Amino acid sequence: MDINILNGKKHIHFIGIGGSGMYPLAQILHTQGYYLTGSDNNETETLDAVRKMGIPVFIGQRAENIEGADLIVFSAAIMDDNPELMASRASGVPVLERSELLGIVTSWYSNAVCVSGTHGKTTTTSMLTQIFRTGDVDISAVIGGKLDCIGGSGRAGSSDVMICESCEFRDTFLRLFPDISVILNIDADHLDYFGTLENIIKSFHKFAENTSKCIIVNGSDANSMKALEGISGKEIITFGRDDSCDFYPENVKHENGLLTTYDAMYRGEKLGTVTLHVAGIHNVLNSLAAVAAAHYLGLDFKFVQQGLAEFRGAKRRFEKLGYEKGITVVDDYAHHPTELEATLNAAMEMKFNNVWAIFQPFTFSRTKILLDDFARVLAIPDHTILTDIMGSREKNTFGIFTRHLAEKIPNCIWFPQDESVEWTDERKYENFGQICDYVCEHARSGDLVITLGCGDAYKISRMILKRLSEEE
C-alpha cells in the first residue's frame, strides 16, 4: 500500500459514507482540506452530520456518482457487484478499501493509539476518547460505535494524538501504523478466516511488531502474552488482574448494579480511585488499559478519573434502552461466547428477579464452530431465547440451524422455522415478532430483558419497549 497515494489528490469520493467507520475518516479528510462527496443507500443521522460539514451526499449508489473523483474509498460492507464500486474499479482512478485509508491516516499522527483485542475494543476506545476529551486534548478518534461525548463514531482534532479502534477481522489491523498499541485479549474468533487460534496469535504478533513505541498488553491473558514472545525494541507495559502486572486494581467493589469502584494501582503505587458506570470485571480491565495508555501519554490522572466517571458506555454496550412496567430493557453487542459470558455474568450479579437473554447467533460458521461454547454460556441467564441465525456474508453451507443450539441449552425458547425456506427479512421480522410477543406475555416487574448480538437483535428490544408502553 502506497501511504503517499493521497498526495496531489483533491476530490475523494466515499461509497457508503454513512458507515460508522467511514464517517470519522470523512471528518478527518475534510479538515485536511480535501473536497469530498459520498453516497449511501438510506438516510441516517450520520448523513445529516455529513451534510452539515458541507459534503454532498447521493442517496442510491450509481456509476455517475463518482464523476470528478481522483480517489475513491469504499466500505467493506459494499458488495463486489455494487454498480458504483464496479464503475470505480473500471475508471482507472485509485480505489481504496476503508481500512487501507485508515492505515494511511494513522501514519499522519505521532501518537496513534491503536486499540486491539478480540473483545472490548469499542468500549476501551470510547473510554480513552472520553478521557482525553475530558482533559481537553483535541484528539482525533475512530470508534466502532457511537459515543455521546463526541456525538458519533469519530472526530477530527488538531493534536498529534489519535485514538483508533483496530479490528483483527481479515487482518485489517495490519494496515495500521500504531505508535502505541493496546492488546486487550486474544480469543478464538473469526475462525472462518484464521482457521486456528494459533494463527490469530501470530496475527497479533505482527500487529505488535508494527508498533513503533509502546505495547500495552493484558498481562493476565496467556494468549496476549504469547503474541509478544520475541518482540523487542518497544516499551512493553502490562495491565491485568493482580500485582504481577504494571497496572492492576485493588479494592474492587460492585454497587447498585452498574456502579463499580476500584483503586488503580501502578507498580505498587495507588494512582487514585476509579468509578465506573459500566458493569463487570471485564470493564475494570478495559478501563485499566485506558488508564495505562493515558498514563503513558502523560495525561493527569484527575482527567482519567473524571473521564471514566462520566463514561456511560458506547452505544450497544450494555446500553439501557428503557424501563416499562417495571421491566428494564438493555441491549449489548456481545456475539462471541467469551463476550456473552462476561455480559451475562454481570447481568446475573445485578440481582434482578429474572434475566431474559435474547440472542441472535451471527454467521453460520461461528455458530457451528463454537456451538458447545455458545450452549455453555447461554445457560447462565434464567431464560434464554434464540432468534434464527443471521447469516450475514455467508450462505448456510454448514447445515447449522437455531435448533442445534437450542437443544443444548436447558429450557431454551425458540420458534422453529421451515429450514427449507430461504432466510429473508420478512421471515426474520416474523421471528422477531414472535419473540416480542412471548417476552411481553411472560416477563414481570423486576426483570431484566437483554438483547444480544452484533446483528440487528436490538430491534427486538425496541419492539418490546413499544409494546409494553402501549399496554394498559
Query: With the C-alpha atoms ordered 309, 314, 316, 321, is the resulting torsion angle positive or negative?
Result: positive
Amino acid 243 reads: D
Contacting residues for 335 by C-beta, under 8 A, at least 6 apart: 360, 362, 366, 452, 453, 454, 455
Q: Which residue has the cell 447521493?
A: 58
Task: Please state the pTM of the whole predicted model.
Answer: 0.76
Q: Which of 98-112, 202-216, 389-403, 414-428 has the lowest mean pLDDT?
A: 414-428
- The CA-based angle 86-90-93, given to 5 degrees, is 110
* Interval 298-328: pLDDT, tens: 999 999 999 999 998 666 667 888 888 989 9
- CA 28 centroid distance within chain: 20
Is the pLDDT confidence value at 425 over 70? no
Highest averaged pLDDT of the listed ranges 75-79, 83-87, 293-297, 332-336: 293-297
Pick from 76, 287, 160: nearest CA to 295:
287
CB of 159 closer than 8 Å to CB of 138: yes
Mean pLDDT of 395-413: 88
Cell of 31: 479538515
How many CB atoms are located within 10 Å of the residue 317 CB? Answer: 21
* Interval 332-370: pLDDT, tens: 888 888 888 888 988 888 778 999 999 999 888 889 888
For the chain, state the CA radius of gyration: 22
